Amino acid sequence: MAIITLTTDLGYKDFYQAALKGSIYSLLPNVNLVDITHSISAFNVPQAAFVLKNAFPYFPPGTVHLVGIDSVYSERTRYLAMEYRGQFFVGSDNGIFSLMFQEPPSQIVELDIMQDLKFLHFPLTDIFAKAACHLAAGKPLSEIGIPVTELEEKVNLQPVIEKDMIRGSVIYIDSFQNVITNISKELFSKVQQGRPFTLYFRKSESISQLSWHYNEVPEGEKLCLFGISNYLEIAINKGNASGLLGLHLGDIVRVEFH
């Protein structure tokens, strides 16, 4: 069965998400719709990129990912569809794909599906839905757009690396209030070289041991580990790390090796 995933900032309060799903089912009744999330902060491209980047590798080849972030019509905005590692993506050319992909997509087209004027302010239910259903039905990418080669580039804030230290920042806070930094497991291991470390955050908080899982420390105790995203996380076992530790998006953390 064809799969279309949805990643949007539409939320769950209004009718927008239902309108999008209804439009897709009207075009392709037997499709399997999967919500990745509709809780992305409004227009938050880096947040959406982080979520989808960590979700899409688990889907089978041929899956179509509809990305509804910052998609309101603009004369400067291109709507794209592309193939990457055997899966398809439909969304606005606002930098999200450059944040998600490790290499260029194998095919990219700028969608030339005629815009229905009554959906001018909501292209998700029109252009995006039509493109996603076309691809989910197994039809060629080349039939819905004009080939292009470049994507809008955005760059995530990168950690600062010194001989005995990595200075990173908080890039995501999940539903459990675990705090995820931009320090990857690969980078950490490369700089650490087997040495002990201390992770510092806020003014007086620190952690000096990596955990393998959240229950490795007593309930209510803080810990750090590399989670499913392979980025360094700060958490509290069965607790609210972001709120209790006062950590927010953009806050600085540093790892010192000794």
- 129 and 199 in a single domain? The answer is no
- 216 and 114 in a single domain? The answer is no
Query: Last residue of a domain, which of 81, 114, 147?
Result: 147
Range of the domain at 10: 3-147
Pairing of strands 205-207, 79-84: unpaired
Per-residue pLDDT of 133-148, as tens digits, reads 999 999 999 999 999 9
Q: Mean of the per-residue pLDDT values for the chain?
A: 93
Residue 71's CATH number: 3.40.50.10790
The number of folded domains in the chain is 2
Is 138 in contact with 171 (CB distance < 8 Å)? no
Is 167 in contact with 254 (CB distance < 8 Å)? yes
Lowest-pLDDT range of 37-46, 109-118, 171-180, 235-244: 109-118
101 band by pLDDT with thresholds 50, 70 and 90: very high
* Packing angle, helices 16-27 and 127-136, rounded to 10: 40
Average pLDDT over residues 201-212: 92
pTM: 0.89
Q: Match 């540093």 to its residue by tokens.
A: 254
Is 179 in contact with 239 (CB distance < 8 Å)? no
